[in-house]
Structure 1
């Protein structure tokens, strides 16, 4: 989520592999997607997509799956790989609502889901995991937006949210973070409805720029929405997920090129979680509903 807050922490790698629950299929709802005219990874305008962009049920016999998720204009874009072939990107899906993905975790179809959206929400003050992520990113720390405090979740007016935030802990809320409130609220409600505590071994907040920095060995200097930035990120992903180029350069209604690349790099984060090699940023705390406040890399 961008901030000028500073902090430091030493991240320690996660060492325990994730156990995969029995596989039971829940069919996701269709996003009714169609081709879009948004600029693609190479900066050209989209024509017909090279891959269908409507949601199709995953084959439970081929699962369980690793899923990276990013918010997008249409809702949520998900990049999917099989646990058995974690370096082969299987598909890209665009979902209107997060519920099909969260229930996929609940029912064991999805073994690990890594999502670029705040999960555990503080009642006051910044989260340690956000401070740690900004520290990891150094001069690129502005890509981490401050997570809003829970009381702001249902504010419908930016000025109201700023006033309420300042009354709670002296902080307002940027317009960028305010515009994320509906998605944060949707994810929060879905997790609270569908996720008993044991599922927090399978669903993790993640951060694409931190994931790319880990993949590249240093934060990327290029801007992710620039032609150069998209090309650089695609090159890293093609090395990490061989053969992914066609899927990642196809067009999906309501999902910008950088959203698709962000979801794809979180497949790598999901794989690292499954293998027990991911770093977990944060202080181990949870919010008032028991949702962990952490960022996986």
Structure 2
């Protein structure tokens, strides 16, 4: 199998991790390469040779009042950690210039406002929504769901705590060697962003092998599939 990639948003763009196939006799992933790239177009170009790419951002947006089925399924699976799921808003909400305007548009279209966190990631969602043609191997991933599937027995602490970071590194060690994966990290990304990207790559590897779980299978008005791959 070729390389897979995981992608997570950072303040100045996107952190991308590419994980090679395991070396002969190894149980987990192989070589690990990191980069911080400025926009979605650059990410698509840099990962064009990958077998699959997992991105922590909504791909496919709802219309009308109903939330995406994949967001509902993910929230239900996450239980107490369901607050990490930001339901994807309709496209007109993303075009609003202010939080107040975005909430007004959301109330008109869906009957409820959006969260401030959702408003803050609106520009990131728009970046991917503006990419004309997404590669068929690029899929939406929710890293917290990936981690809980990889290590279901771990009661994860918040990801920005030392305990939470340690738990995530221990979980990901079941797939990649932390001494390899974390040996040469890029600037411009926090540790939790880097671990989220690795979790996205884990789900991308499952997608490439054909054994990933898929939450949701609706199609939006642009023809994009609204699903979360685990």
Task: Tell me which of 19, 22, 30 is aligned to 1:81.
Answer: 19
Deviation at 1:129, TM superposition (A): 0.1
User: Could you tell me how far apart the structure 2 residues matched to 1:88 and 1:145 are?
Assistant: 32
Q: Which residue is 1:58 aligned to? A: none
Deviation at 1:116, TM superposition (A): 0.4
What's the Cα RMSD here?
A: 1.8
User: Could you tell me how far apart the structure 1 residues matched to 2:190 and 2:103 are?
Assistant: 29
Q: Give the aligned length.
A: 225
User: Could you tell me how far apart the structure 2 residues matched to 1:275 and 1:249 are?
Assistant: 27
User: Could you tell me how far apart the structure 1 residues matched to 2:184 and 2:163 are?
Assistant: 18
In 1, are the aligned partners of 2:156 and 2:167 still within 8 Å (CA)?
A: no
Residues 186, 144 of structure 1: CA spacing in aligned structure 2 closer, same or farther, 3 A cutoff?
Answer: same
Is 1:259 equivalent to 2:197 in the alignment? no
Q: Which residue is 1:100 aligned to? A: 42
Normalization by structure 2: what TM-score? 0.91
Q: Which residue is 1:194 aligned to? A: 133
Normalization by structure 1: what TM-score? 0.71
Q: Which residue is 2:7 aligned to? A: 69
User: Could you tell me how far apart the structure 2 residues matched to 1:153 and 1:258 are?
Assistant: 26
SS in 1 for 2:34: strand
Specify every segment of 5 or more residues in structure 2 that has no aligned partner in the other structure, as ranges. Answer: none
Is 1:271 equivalent to 2:183 in the alignment? no
Larger radius of gyration: 1
User: Could you tell me how far apart the structure 2 residues matched to 1:251 and 1:166 are?
Assistant: 42
Task: Tell me which of 219, 241, 245 is aligned to 2:179.
Answer: 245
Q: Which residue is 1:115 aligned to? A: 55
Q: Which residue is 2:79 aligned to? A: 138
Correspondence 1:159-198 to 2 at 5 A:
159-190=100-131, 193-195=132-134
Residues 194, 103 of structure 1: CA spacing in aligned structure 2 closer, same or farther, 3 A cutoff?
Answer: farther
In 2, are the aligned partners of 1:119 and 1:292 still within 8 Å (CA)?
A: yes
Specify every segment of 5 or more residues in structure 1 that has no aligned partner in the other structure, as ranges. Answer: 1-62
